[in-house]
Structure 1
């Protein structure tokens, strides 16, 4: 073989560039950007809900002489419980609060004398929950408002 023939051998082409790592990288970047955008929107909505003033009205009607009320109250962003004992009905209580989150509780418990009661919780002039109970030691519960 001559020297000329050795130089005429074709040079092998470079290996083809792999495209799939770039496609995977772009998909991961797009997913990360999408997750960041969703997180920002949710954070804004939670912040707006937490700063909005909400009007809550609790009501109890019926015929009973020994009634205990247990209800949710909000102080800023913290949930606490209020308790009140009544000897006569009807009763209503109202409060305006900020930092309200769903999941409140309002329970009306009858004593050993029994009776009939109904409770309702209204948030921003829309009735959210109602319940009834009758008899000794019965409880009407309005949850999740």
Structure 2
């Protein structure tokens, strides 16, 4: 009987399969992080218009408006205003938007505020003496 050649040990395939899966997983995660980072960067650079509007029959109202953008909050106030009143302001940053508060005086009346940011509109109304309508949009 001829001698039996020695058996070669079988090569294990699972370490190679595991390595390929691990490489694909790490590559996919890296691509996802880069993609999300790019989208966040683009969104933070996008500029939007914040539109403020006050209407109503109240006289001598106080208007306080704020704008969020570039990591900052800017706030302004105008007093003794008779509606209608409006203003537009540009802002950009990851969080962007604005708010508007309209307060009636001692004579009362009714007011309506409206803030439009990037096509989304937020409204509120108030009536009576020393009441406030608050519109917040961002």
Please confirm whether the aligned pair reaches a TM-score higher than 0.5, indicating the same fold: yes
Q: For 1:54-100, what per-residue CA distance to the aligned partner results, in whole angstroms no more than 9, with x for missing partners? A: 22210000011242222222464422222222331111111223336
1:121 is matched with 115
* Corresponding residue to 1:136 among 99, 122, 129: 129
What are the equivalent positions in structure 2 for 1:47-58 lying under 5 Å apart?
A: 47-58=41-52
* Unaligned stretches of 5+ residues in structure 2: none
C-alpha RMSD of matched pairs (Å): 3.0
* Corresponding residue to 1:92 among 86, 89, 94: 86
What are the equivalent positions in structure 2 for 1:1-145 lying under 5 Å apart?
A: 17=12, 19=14, 26-74=20-68, 76-99=70-93, 101-102=95-96, 104-124=98-118, 126-145=119-138
**Structure 1 residue 25: deviation in Å?**
5.4
Counterparts of 1:99 and 1:22 in 2: how far apart (Å)?
46
**Aligned residue pairs, count:** 136
Runs of 4+ in 1 over 6 A off after TM superposition: none
Q: Which has the larger radius of gyration?
A: 1
1:5 is matched with none
